Structure 1
Amino acid sequence: MGNREALLAGARKCLLEKGYARTTARDIAGAAGVSLAAIGYHFKSTQALLNEALAETMAEWGDRLEESLAVDVSADAGPLARFEAAWTRILASFEADRPLWATQLELLGRIAADDGFKEQFAGGVREARMGMASLALGDASQAGERESWLAGSFYQALLTGVLAQYLMDPENALSGADLAEALRLVAGRPE
């Protein structure tokens, strides 16, 4: 493994252990077993290195999450059953990939303060929204563009809020069944 690859691996390790904001160039160089100067040589800045490591990490994580969300629900299951099954799996991933989920929330504050950072990750958010639309609707190809956008946006908004609650108070976190029951309550639909 060359210095560039070692730095990426070190940065990814630090992201999981320390988060984005608390990771320093020294942390990365130490984890990679290379000099501090190697960061500037290969990436120009620590931020550029962290951003690339973050993009790689999130892409791999997104693939794993997508696989785990392939919901095994019978073809005749209604939207609420699909909703509960999907959220049960999403919530399970909160614990399995807790450092990555925590990093997601950390990045929200950074995105609000850094337009360049926001632009870099806006495409990923749009892509995630469309993935969430498929999760919400089953076969999103049958829905219109607005319906897909609405369903994906709703799932993303719910995801952010539920994640924040989970990270703050995991002992009282909602389950997939709790979320489905809450949705029935607020929609005024007994089932």
Structure 2
Amino acid sequence: MGHREDLLAGAKECLYDKGFGRTTARDIVAASKTNLASIGYHFGSKEALLTEALVQATAEWGEELERALTVDPDPADGPMERFERTWTRVIDLYATHHRLWSIAVEGIAQVGRIPEMRKVLAEAQDIAREELALTFHTSGDDDERTRVLGAVYQALLTGVMVQWLVDPGTAPSGRDLAQALRMIAGAGELRG
């Protein structure tokens, strides 16, 4: 690897260990075994380097999520069983890729300060919404239906991810989510 790739790898490791706000240029240099001048030469600033590393980590998060969503369903499963199994796979990612999920949440927190991060996450969110909607529902040609369903699944994904990061012991399982959906669907009229 060259210095640029070494810096990105070191910055990503620092993001996982210390987070965006607590990582110093010296931390990155130590992790990458490069020098301070390399940061300026290749990226212009520590913030630009950390942003690029955060963008890469977010892309890795998206790839892991896509793999979990695109597993072929069991043909014997009904819609609720498929829902439960899919969310169980997604939640398993939280447990096995905790550092990756943490950095994804930190990326979300940076969108107000880093316009590039907002752009990258907005694009990824659009893709995830469509994939989530099509994971659970037939495609059809109704873009509005796909958008609305995808937005709800995206809200569920983000909310579950945050719950797992804060307190895995009380965060919902795939089974909990399926049970809640059954309760919501069977609730009839909502309270006014």
Fold in common (TM above 0.5): yes
Offset from partner CA, 1:19-60 (integer Å, 9 cap, x none): 222222111111011111110100111121122222222223
- Mean Cα deviation higher: 60-69 or 3-12: 60-69
Residue number in structure 2 paired with 1:110:
110
Residue number in structure 1 paired with 2:146:
148
Residue number in structure 2 paired with 1:91:
91
Alpha-carbon distance change, 107 to 64 in structure 1, aligned in 2, over 3 angstroms: closer
What's the % identity of the aligned pairs? 44
Give 2:179's aligned amino acid.
E
Alpha-carbon distance change, 42 to 113 in structure 1, aligned in 2, over 3 angstroms: closer
- Mean Cα deviation higher: 167-176 or 181-190: 181-190
CA contact (8 A) 2:58 2:104 kept: no
Q: CA deviation at 1:78?
A: 3.0
Distance 1:39 1:112 in 2: 24
**TM-score (normalizing by structure 2):** 0.87
Residue number in structure 2 paired with 1:185:
183
Segments ≥4 residues shifted beyond 6 Å:
none
RMSD: 2.1
Alpha-carbon distance change, 99 to 110 in structure 1, aligned in 2, over 3 angstroms: same
Alpha-carbon distance change, 2 to 120 in structure 1, aligned in 2, over 3 angstroms: same
Alpha-carbon distance change, 58 to 104 in structure 1, aligned in 2, over 3 angstroms: closer
Residue number in structure 1 paired with 2:32:
32
Distance 2:63 2:135 in 1: 14
Residue number in structure 1 paired with 2:166:
168
CA contact (8 A) 2:16 2:100 kept: yes
CA contact (8 A) 1:136 1:152 kept: no
Give 1:184's aligned amino acid.
R
**TM-score (normalizing by structure 1):** 0.88
Where structure 1 has 5 or more consecutive residues not aligned to the other structure, the ranges are: none
1:31 is paired with a residue whose SS is helix
Give 1:58's aligned amino acid.
T
Alpha-carbon distance change, 117 to 37 in structure 1, aligned in 2, over 3 angstroms: same
CA contact (8 A) 1:71 1:85 kept: no
